[in-house]
Amino acid sequence: MKKFSIAMLSMVLAGSMLLTGCGGSKTADSSSDAQDSSTSTSDTADYKLATEGTLTMATNAYFEPWEYYDGDKIVGIDPEVAQAIADKLGLKLEIMDMDFDSIITAVSAGKADMGMAGMTVTEDRKKNVDFSQTYASAIQAIIVPEGSDIKTADDMEGKKIGVMQGFTGDLNCTEQFGEDSVVRFNKSAEAVMALQQGKIDCIVIDNEPAKKIIEANKGLQILDSKYSQEDYAIAFAKGNDGLRDAVDKALGELIDDGTVEKIMNEYIVAD
Ligand code: ARG
């Protein structure tokens, strides 16, 4: 496992060096930029962007209500908060949808400027990316078919646990219950189907997406017993401090003036 992450890290480093080397990433410099900054609160824009004038956000849009498709448009809490951040910085927002597992690599390699995907801050991820302040908290919920003999998190011992590849539910359950206990899926819809067919015994996923899943699927329920407590933040390439600081400042203002809460309330019904 250690070996793997070191190999991955050097791959990522090589990738980002390559990008810088061939001028793939650009520096937004307000002094030499003719760009109109009247709408921008960032008077000292000094950061690298994947595409000039654009804030490129890497996400995985199968995580309602945080990010999901409405037709061919990606909507949700994260895209709306990101749009508000981009507006403050005087940038256009572009969203790149990818596997959740690829987000950190894309950000580290400078292909995207930030990863925003209901992403939990973990010590391991902090080795590869820097995080903004946290903007939401979550718990890992356990979804079971009604009448399941799984009543608490401990009852998952010896069961087949459905998780989403690379999500914290995957990382935590693999660590606690072992590789053989987890069955990994790329989309929650596939996990739900497996649960309904009895191929797995439960699904561990963040609580808000869990609520959306049981709303849409009869015969499933969320256990009262929750798994772990987590915080979401935005991820940046290590060393891209100028951008991280600018986004962090904008995010802080949006939290303070209630915009983030207002956006969350549009998508999340209090329980
Ligand atoms: N919070 C969990 C994690 O960080 C799951 C995030 C999944 N996000 C997504 N957009 N698919 O691992």
Q: Which atom of ligand 1 is nearest to the CA of 100?
A: 11
pTM reported for the whole predicted model: 0.83
Candidates 59, 62, 63, 75: which one to mutate for ligand 1, based on the most atoms within 8 Å of Cβ?
Answer: 63
Q: Which atom of ligand 1 is nearest to the CA of 166?
A: 12
Candidates 114, 140, 165, 168: which one to mutate for ligand 1, based on the most atoms within 8 Å of Cβ?
Answer: 168
Summary mean pLDDT of the chain: 87
| 100 close to ligand 1 (CB < 6 Angstrom) | yes
pLDDT at 225: 80
Domain ranges of the chain: 6-135+233-267, 138-229
pLDDT at 38: 40
Q: How far is the CA of 172 from the centre of ligand 1 (A)?
A: 13
| 115 close to ligand 1 (CB < 6 Angstrom) | no
| 227 close to ligand 1 (CB < 6 Angstrom) | no
> 179-198, pLDDT tens digit by residue?
999 999 999 999 999 999 99
| 60 close to ligand 1 (CB < 6 Angstrom) | yes
> 35-69, pLDDT tens digit by residue?
443 444 444 568 989 999 999 999 999 999 999 99
| 63 close to ligand 1 (CB < 6 Angstrom) | yes
> 113-123, pLDDT tens digit by residue?
999 999 999 99
Q: How far is the CA of 198 from the centre of ligand 1 (A)?
A: 25
- What's the average model confidence in pLDDT over 216-223? 96
Task: Encode the chain in three state secondary structure.
Answer: CHHHHHHHHHHHHHHHHHHHHCCCCEEEECCCCCCCCCCCCCCCCEEEECECCEEEEEECCEECCCEEEECCEEECHHHHHHHHHHHHHCCEEEEEECCHHHHHHHHHCCCCCEECCCCECCHHHHCCEEEEEEEEEEEEEEEEECCCCCCCHHHHCCCCEEEECCCHHHHHHHHHHCHHHEEEECCHHHHHHHHHCCCCCEEEEEHHHHHHHHHHCCCEEECCCCCCEEEEEEEEECCCHHHHHHHHHHHHHHHHCCHHHHHHHHHCCCC
Q: How confident is the model at residue 11 (pLDDT cuts 50, 70, 90)?
A: very low
Assess whether the region 6-135+233-267 and the region 138-229 belong to the same CATH fold. Answer: yes
Q: Which CATH number fits domain 138-229: 3.40.50.1360, 3.40.190.10, 3.40.50.1370, 3.50.50.60?
A: 3.40.190.10
Q: How far is the CA of 203 from the centre of ligand 1 (A)?
A: 14
| 76 close to ligand 1 (CB < 6 Angstrom) | no
| 119 close to ligand 1 (CB < 6 Angstrom) | yes
Q: How far is the CA of 204 from the centre of ligand 1 (A)?
A: 12
| Count of all residues that appear for the chain in the document | 271
Q: How far is the CA of 160 from the centre of ligand 1 (A)?
A: 20
Q: How confident is the model at residue 271 (pLDDT cuts 50, 70, 90)?
A: low
- Domain boundaries 6-135+233-267, corresponding CATH code: 3.40.190.10
> 117-174, pLDDT tens digit by residue?
999 999 999 999 999 999 999 999 999 999 999 999 999 999 999 999 999 999 999 9
| 204 close to ligand 1 (CB < 6 Angstrom) | no
Using a pLDDT cut of 90, give the percent of the chain over it: 79
